[in-house]
Structure 1
């Protein structure tokens, strides 16, 4: 009754305001509404719109407490500091961590903000929903981006974006810090699995599709704001170390790193997050060249630029380019940062901005500009009209998409090597032994950014089908399936399926300078190959892993499962048993040794031949190409299934300038599903500007030297 009365009072207040204040008139253009509201705001209220605080600062008794919302901190941050946006950093969830609790928490926060805002300005609420609504226990977790890249199929990021947007909005979240538009050029880097791979054309298509899925045809009450991150060059840190300086030429910056961001912005991305590192010695958060000249000037971006976690302060504490926090704030805002993910000290940030404006060190117009962008997004999302979520719809939305997650995981799985006999498991393998703790522990297949920042905490559980679960679901009648954590001395089995991988991880904690397996996993593989039984290795990892030759060459089959999400176990099982013919193709180059990286396929003069090339991937059937033709607008080729089973196949078209010896680069791709003996003409579009030169040679598989005049 009390909440109902409060809602009625808020509605009445809004109606009264609408009669006198144009900014609440939905018939007016957004720009006019923003200007009217901005004219009514105090400087303190405007500065609040530039401030983003982690929700844990509003909980319990200290800044990392996940207790109930604390009235004292609600007053200090939302009422007194006028903070315009909140976020849940990794693990910052309500208790209990259920969809309904999320909706209730965001509604309570929104209600408090509206009640204590003189002008009834709602808050934005952001999360890193990078593979589904991955902060909520029981949510559907999709494959991480690196696995989706292996599908070479843009329908997955688009559809996953739609499902994720509905889940977020149903829990009161309106801002998603995704998709990642970084280029995965160095697999040692801890955030490699958050990328779509090493190729800019592949990444551009996937980023654009995901943005369109998250935001829909236009931002509104049923969509969320997408964020292309981290602008720019973050994926090429020196030595593969997270947040290290990136040494990038102008040609590399514009030719390799910029296209995915440009594609995301063309698709309508409402916000951009800044690179936490530096580019050629200049921290991105302090670079007017990147954030103003390139992003605003060259790309024409008009939305919000948001910092990453505490990165404005890090201009002082880490990069040491600012002598004081006040100077760091000045540098970031002057460079082009609109919103600071503070994330705890609201008063420290707002007081610094106010002092800068009052002293004349920061133009008041810069604050107006940034606040206007935030307000415009709130209007576009319909928050002034529909600020609350329906908690009764939250659970269904958050748990939706399991079939989509399964299909995406199936299509991502990449068969790297096979003896042609052991897989698919069947008549020759009536007794199968599944080995390794990772086969029954969902953490490795879910990866980082799952409930917690560093992955699923050991004291928590979430809905997921493990590889062992999946194999139990599809094991044929008459087949004996057993499990062992280790390799028995004399395995009583026709084949061993050994599941190995990396533990869940995120950011700097995930850096892997040697690309090595954990020692225990390598020992498990070594013991298995020494048993004399056929060994199928299934790798759960977000990057290529270097396995010693004496182990790898003794495998009967090598399956790359990436980080396949909550339905990943069933997807792996379907591939192992032949219910699905593997069709994933590597979205990156797999090196022979860590000493050979970074060495993306399109980099001239790369060191050492790769173990598996970009685009590599085997199938249980075979495909052939014929009749390759090309124009300035499209590549056309006939694809035939020449094998004995149905299969899906990604067709990749590469180009190089005619007569050039430079590496051929991917220019377009598409996918086809064929029955045995079936053939189909596939037409792959070539967007304007995609070709590297007026006259180029196109090749698809072994067909090449087709010239576009």
Structure 2
């Protein structure tokens, strides 16, 4: 009897130990992860695939699809607007969110937008200099503040997810997205990446912050000959040394999403590159967030291959919704896609929704609408304009200009057009060639600063040769991805100024008028001749909405402090090979090196 009792007691103790150990294992898992596991167990395959799906809010049957297709995310892009006012934008997305919450499991939506230099899709928002200009400021705290403001104005218009920052390392100025990147320097890009993520994300449960996205993984700016979506022929060691550091710091900062790139690595589509997406990013860097595809990634880059490679959320846009959902469902049925891969993707998506606090507070704060385009925000944007300007030449101390100058002629259409001064991804995808609401122009600022006569000669045809100084504005017309590549069939873009803009400068120089040239561009251009013949030359990049900040530096209220974030080419011959002059290639001597910039 005693032996039986002892055996019984021992068995009980062993059972208790097993139960306790299991309880300890369960309790050792963070509460959010326990919630994710519990929710995942309740989900059907259709609901899981739905969470992996992202569509545009104005697509046909979008509202019905939120509930019938169990969608995980909605994006806004070029097309019909959600409304006229910020509150109307919020209300549109609140209505869609309510539909999502009415589904069986009530999983909230993520709302995403390409807010790459402010909430640039909303007219009236504060629009900052593009990243190339922010790189010229070398001001990490400023970049953090700009990201914080972008988050506020994005939430104010209904978004909790932004596709920013772009952390590419451009190797060739022919690439049409050079301006989206901070710098050709990996080290400096990494510093600004950290600052940007801090500003965007902050405390993610705070209604003024958003989920950020590091993009585009990986090699987007390092393609051969600067072709958008082309092949990146760097080897593994070069990718590690030159391109991965910003992503490492992004993961360390807890970034919520990483976007896959259009380009290929060694002729393998990045969207389908399991070695880099899963092995390097997810496993090697311990990234636990969402890998999101780029535009129509499923249909363009391999269907279920991209899911197996590690892409978690698919932009099933422009007719891809049924194709993606049916294709992935069939992949699970025929075992070409494992349910474990599906579960991993859904866990990552749910994790970010919990991090954002969407299960407790799924709606935007309506009080934030008053913050859009506020004076406080525009003040920071103007500071960014001032600090981004790079002085390349200043013969005989031409600058700063005296406010008492008797007559100033301002030349060129870029001087009086906020659309032209802002570049692509401004109001429209490819930018706008017209002024937009709430912005100031460079000419506005000059008129405010100068006490003498200011005349505007938009096309250099009015012959104001009696002027004491000509401020000549030249540059590129707005462009964005693909269409912005020099050599792309859709455009006539060159790495030099147009003949018309070269003529603007030449007309006033040949008449002996002192010339101050201000270049508005998304990349360094070959302007060696124009620099040589000018009295002063300023690289102003793409300014955003606060163009009047330029005049504050030209007239000496502030000194020049910007430094080149890219090497400056001296000749179109510099671009005969795969890359232009850059931080890594010492064989091509630039006209001005990375980090160059004069002061008064």
Which residue, 558, 567, 574 being the options, matches 1:580? 558
State the secondary structure of the residue aligned to 2:496.
coil
Structure 1 residue 481 and structure 2 residue 462: aligned?
no
Q: Which residue of 2 aligns with 1:321?
A: none
Structure 1 residue 619 and structure 2 residue 599: aligned?
yes
Contact 1:207-1:264 within 8 A present in 2 as well: yes
* Alpha-carbon separation, structure 2, partners of 1:296 and 1:384: 25
Q: Which residue of 2 aligns with 1:129?
A: 115
The aligned runs of 1:541-552 (5 Å cut-off) are: 541-547=521-527, 549=529, 551-552=530-531
- 1:561-609 alpha-carbon deviations (Å, 9 max, x no partner): 1111111x221101111111111000110011122142444325422x2
State the secondary structure of the residue aligned to 1:48.
helix
Contact 1:55-1:92 within 8 A present in 2 as well: no
The aligned runs of 1:177-576 (5 Å cut-off) are: 177-315=163-301, 328-344=302-318, 345-399=320-374, 401-426=377-402, 429-456=405-432, 458=434, 461-475=436-450, 477=451, 479-487=452-460, 488-489=462-463, 491-513=465-487, 514-547=494-527, 549=529, 551-567=530-546, 569-576=547-554
Q: CA deviation at 1:613?
A: 1.0
State the secondary structure of the residue aligned to 2:244.
helix
Q: CA deviation at 1:187?
A: 1.2
* Alpha-carbon separation, structure 2, partners of 1:427 and 1:172: 44
* Alpha-carbon separation, structure 2, partners of 1:129 and 1:91: 15
* Alpha-carbon separation, structure 2, partners of 1:341 and 1:314: 11
- 1:289-329 alpha-carbon deviations (Å, 9 max, x no partner): 110111112211111000001122112xxxxxxxxxxxx22
* Alpha-carbon separation, structure 2, partners of 1:91 and 1:433: 39
- 1:324-357 alpha-carbon deviations (Å, 9 max, x no partner): xxxx221001111001111133222111111111
State the secondary structure of the residue aligned to 2:75.
strand
Q: Which residue of 1 aligns with 2:33?
A: 31
State the secondary structure of the residue aligned to 2:150.
helix
TM-score of the superposed pair, with normalisation by structure 2: 0.90
Q: CA deviation at 1:219?
A: 4.8
* Alpha-carbon separation, structure 1, partners of 2:437 and 2:312: 36
* Alpha-carbon separation, structure 1, partners of 2:271 and 2:341: 16
Q: Which residue of 2 aligns with 1:88?
A: 76
TM-score of the superposed pair, with normalisation by structure 1: 0.77
State the secondary structure of the residue aligned to 2:495.
coil
Contact 2:171-2:582 within 8 A present in 1 as well: no
* Alpha-carbon separation, structure 2, partners of 1:222 and 1:554: 49
* Alpha-carbon separation, structure 2, partners of 1:493 and 1:604: 44
Cα gap change, 1:261/1:90 in structure 2, threshold over 3 Å: closer, same or farther? Answer: farther
Larger RCO, structures 1/2 (Cα 8 Å, 6+ apart): 2
- 1:141-188 alpha-carbon deviations (Å, 9 max, x no partner): 011100000011101111111111122222321111100011122111
Structure 1 residue 592 and structure 2 residue 570: aligned?
yes
Q: CA deviation at 1:433?
A: 0.5
Q: CA deviation at 1:370?
A: 0.4
* Alpha-carbon separation, structure 2, partners of 1:184 and 1:373: 30
User: In proportion to residue count, which structure has more helix?
Assistant: 2
Contact 1:93-1:135 within 8 A present in 2 as well: no
Cα gap change, 1:587/1:605 in structure 2, threshold over 3 Å: closer, same or farther? Answer: closer
State the secondary structure of the residue aligned to 2:456.
strand
State the secondary structure of the residue aligned to 1:126.
strand
Q: Specify every segment of 5 or more residues in structure 1 that has no aligned partner in the other structure, as ranges.
A: 1-26, 59-71, 316-327, 621-709
* Alpha-carbon separation, structure 2, partners of 1:125 and 1:601: 37
Cα gap change, 1:127/1:118 in structure 2, threshold over 3 Å: closer, same or farther? Answer: same
State the secondary structure of the residue aligned to 2:211.
coil
Q: CA deviation at 1:410?
A: 0.5
Query: Which deviates more from structure 2 when the two are superposed, residues 34-43 or residues 391-400?
Result: 391-400
* Alpha-carbon separation, structure 2, partners of 1:262 and 1:531: 55
The aligned runs of 1:46-195 (5 Å cut-off) are: 46-58=48-60, 72-75=61-64, 77-96=65-84, 98-115=85-102, 117-195=103-181
* Alpha-carbon separation, structure 2, partners of 1:236 and 1:406: 31
Q: CA deviation at 1:249?
A: 1.9
* Alpha-carbon separation, structure 2, partners of 1:217 and 1:389: 15
Contact 1:100-1:395 within 8 A present in 2 as well: no
Cα gap change, 1:207/1:600 in structure 2, threshold over 3 Å: closer, same or farther? Answer: farther
State the secondary structure of the residue aligned to 1:404.
helix
Contact 2:386-2:558 within 8 A present in 1 as well: yes
Q: CA deviation at 1:457?
A: 6.0
Q: CA deviation at 1:385?
A: 1.0
* Alpha-carbon separation, structure 2, partners of 1:44 and 1:178: 30
* Alpha-carbon separation, structure 2, partners of 1:398 and 1:34: 38
* Alpha-carbon separation, structure 1, partners of 2:95 and 2:204: 27
Contact 2:291-2:310 within 8 A present in 1 as well: yes
Query: Which deviates more from structure 2 when the two are superposed, residues 490-499 or residues 509-518?
Result: 509-518
Q: CA deviation at 1:393?
A: 2.9
Q: CA deviation at 1:358?
A: 1.2
Q: Which residue of 2 aligns with 1:657?
A: none
Query: Which deviates more from structure 2 when the two are superposed, residues 34-43 or residues 168-177?
Result: 168-177
- 1:46-89 alpha-carbon deviations (Å, 9 max, x no partner): 0001110011205xxxxxxxxxxxxx5422x1121111101012
Q: Which residue of 1 aligns with 2:584?
A: 603
* Alpha-carbon separation, structure 2, partners of 1:158 and 1:575: 23
Cα gap change, 1:490/1:160 in structure 2, threshold over 3 Å: closer, same or farther? Answer: closer
Q: Specify every segment of 5 or more residues in structure 2 that has no aligned partner in the other structure, as ranges.
A: 1-28, 488-493
* Alpha-carbon separation, structure 2, partners of 1:43 and 1:144: 41
State the secondary structure of the residue aligned to 1:481.
strand
- 1:375-416 alpha-carbon deviations (Å, 9 max, x no partner): 111111011111112334313245451111011110110111
